[in-house]
Structure 1
Amino acid sequence: MALRRKQLHVEHAYRQVSAELEAQILDGTLRPGDQLPGEVEMAAMFGVNRSTVREGIRRLESEGLVRRVSPRRLEVSLPRAKDLASRHTRALRLMEITFLELWNVAIATEPLAAELAARAASEANIAALLENQQRMIAVVDAGASPVELDTAFHTLVADCTGNRALTLAREPIAVLLFSGLEVLVPHLPQAPHRQIVAHQKVIDAIRAGDPDTARDWMRRHLEDFRRGFELAKLPLDAPIMPLAQRQVEQ
């Protein structure tokens, strides 16, 4: 590992520090596991003060590109998929993305995930899906909210594929879209039970290694979700807002 030296003389130099380090991580000069020089050494290399370097590093830490192994040791890391999805979900909320926009993407990604899952799922993957299903049945029978487990089901299906690109692409969309179940249930109490039936059909197809049936049932599941919104007369073109705000309004 050899960090390139670069003199920085700009306003808000900490942004330039983080941008330069990020560029060197992305172009492969710095690789996951490489140890970064100390703050004092980097300050000298970039021609800035130590506090500027510290602020730039803090931004990279929040992005998951750098992690602090010890108080004085920093190394390059890979951002976790969960952290990336969380940031993207917040961005979608801030942009006031609508239910319909999210659904139009999910109707493509979720059936694809189910199809690939049927081709690649391991015994451990299937066991996780079955456990999720049993927990969701128990939660629905108890009259509690199934949103968290419903969202987790779709993540588990995607995990079965082993396709990291698909997992990263669909997660923020799915997290926000399936939160809409919370809004739907007061209007259509049968919705969680329909979710359970559809989930079982998808699981059975994945377990049987039947990609066509897995894809078709996932598509039917997504289409049923949209029909639920329409039957409940919930606006498809309205922004998906945080659940807390939805609940307050109801």
Structure 2
Amino acid sequence: MKKQKFEKLEILPAYRQVADAIEQQIMEGLIKPEEPIGTEADLVEQFGVNRSTVREGIRLLEQSGMLRRGEKRRLYVSLPGYDKLATRISRSLVLHKVTFRELVESLEILEPKTIELAAKHITDDQLDRLERNVRETEEKLNDKNELARLDTEFHSIIAEAAQNRVFILAREPSGLLIYPATQYIFETVPEAPSRLLEAHKIMLDALRKHDVVEAKSWMYKHVRDFVKGLIRTGVDLDGPIAKPHLEHLFSLDTYL
């Protein structure tokens, strides 16, 4: 008689079962964002476990952004912010040793499509914010750290203007990885700040005119310029994302 093969059962720790039970109700819409789920004492009584087990389960959900604490230590359902989700994904990409080439290939697809959508949907308020960003960029051309921050902000506003939450979440992790590389390019390639400013001005003008073709064309050129800058710094495109990128992720306030 052939011996049947079974996989070993996975026995989850009690705190994971608590977290999974709460998460399931949130995901099924039984508990909605900003609704309270009680206090630790309430959950201890409902689950029939000790306080430390509930506390560990809550900690997992707080870290994922699904729970927050309000007045009198009451717990409320919350929506995870894009920044928190992106930081975790970015950290995972670094730990999986993704290469600069893989990063660039994703940018060549995501960034042009994002600005294409933005050119169709951008609001006056978002255009005003981009204009302020470009003015500040022009004032900070010699401040490499500020330039990197402003570059990230510029692209984040465009992603917001695309009015597609999937695109925001898809591009945000790459944006976090680009930040330290952009800083290094500014420090190494003398003409990089002025080239970035020129590209941003042209893309802003295209967005003002809702010119999809021009906006998309210049975003692709902008990404290719980033690649040229990387090469000028001596980066191996087929090598894994470097240590400074991981250090940057650990420095973020949104790091979990």
Query: Which residue pairs with 2:4 in the alignment?
Result: none
1:58 aligns with 2:59: yes
The answer to whether the 8 A contact 1:67-1:74 is kept is: yes
For residues 158 and 208 of structure 1, the distance between their equivalents in structure 2, rounded to whole angstroms, comes to 17
1:206 and 1:11, CA in 2 relative to 1: closer, same or farther beyond 3 A? closer
The answer to whether the 8 A contact 2:91-2:246 is kept is: no
Normalising by the residue count of structure 1, what TM-score does the alignment of the two structures yield? Answer: 0.88
Matched letter for residue 96 of structure 1: K
Structure 1 unaligned blocks of 5 or more: 1-9
Q: Deviation at 1:244?
A: 7.7
Q: Among all aligned residue pairs of Structure 1 and Structure 2, give the percentage whose two residues are the same amino acid.
A: 38
1:171 aligns with 2:181: no
Q: Which secondary structure state, in structure 2, belongs to the residue aligned with residue 185 of structure 1?
A: helix
Greater Cα offset, 165-174 or 236-245: 236-245
Counterparts of 1:42-191 in structure 2 under 5 Å?
42-140=43-141, 142-145=142-145, 146-191=147-192
Q: Deviation at 1:107?
A: 0.7
Query: Which residue pairs with 2:40 in the alignment?
Result: 39
Normalising by the residue count of structure 2, what TM-score does the alignment of the two structures yield? Answer: 0.86
- Spell out, residue by residue over 1:128-155, the C-alpha distance to the aligned partner (whole angstroms, 9 max, x if none): 1111111111111x34331111111111
The answer to whether the 8 A contact 1:106-1:174 is kept is: no
The answer to whether the 8 A contact 1:85-1:172 is kept is: yes
Matched letter for residue 23 of structure 2: E
1:57 and 1:232, CA in 2 relative to 1: closer, same or farther beyond 3 A? closer
- Spell out, residue by residue over 1:103-162, the C-alpha distance to the aligned partner (whole angstroms, 9 max, x if none): 11111111111111110111110011111111111111x343311111111111111112
For residues 231 and 15 of structure 1, the distance between their equivalents in structure 2, rounded to whole angstroms, comes to 48
For residues 74 and 150 of structure 1, the distance between their equivalents in structure 2, rounded to whole angstroms, comes to 37
For residues 118 and 215 of structure 1, the distance between their equivalents in structure 2, rounded to whole angstroms, comes to 9
Counterparts of 1:194-209 in structure 2 under 5 Å?
194-209=195-210
Matched letter for residue 153 of structure 2: A
Q: Which secondary structure state, in structure 1, belongs to the residue aligned with residue 144 of structure 2?
A: coil
Q: Which secondary structure state, in structure 1, belongs to the residue aligned with residue 158 of structure 2?
A: helix
Query: Which residue pairs with 2:8 in the alignment?
Result: none
Matched letter for residue 183 of structure 2: E
The answer to whether the 8 A contact 1:117-1:158 is kept is: yes
Q: Deviation at 1:175?
A: 1.9
The answer to whether the 8 A contact 1:99-1:177 is kept is: no
1:244 and 1:88, CA in 2 relative to 1: closer, same or farther beyond 3 A? closer
Query: Which residue pairs with 2:7 in the alignment?
Result: none
For residues 228 and 162 of structure 1, the distance between their equivalents in structure 2, rounded to whole angstroms, comes to 30
- How many residue pairs end up in the alignment? 237
For residues 62 and 192 of structure 2, the distance between their equivalents in structure 1, rounded to whole angstroms, comes to 41
Structure 2 unaligned blocks of 5 or more: 1-10, 249-256
Matched letter for residue 160 of structure 2: D
1:109 and 1:210, CA in 2 relative to 1: closer, same or farther beyond 3 A? same
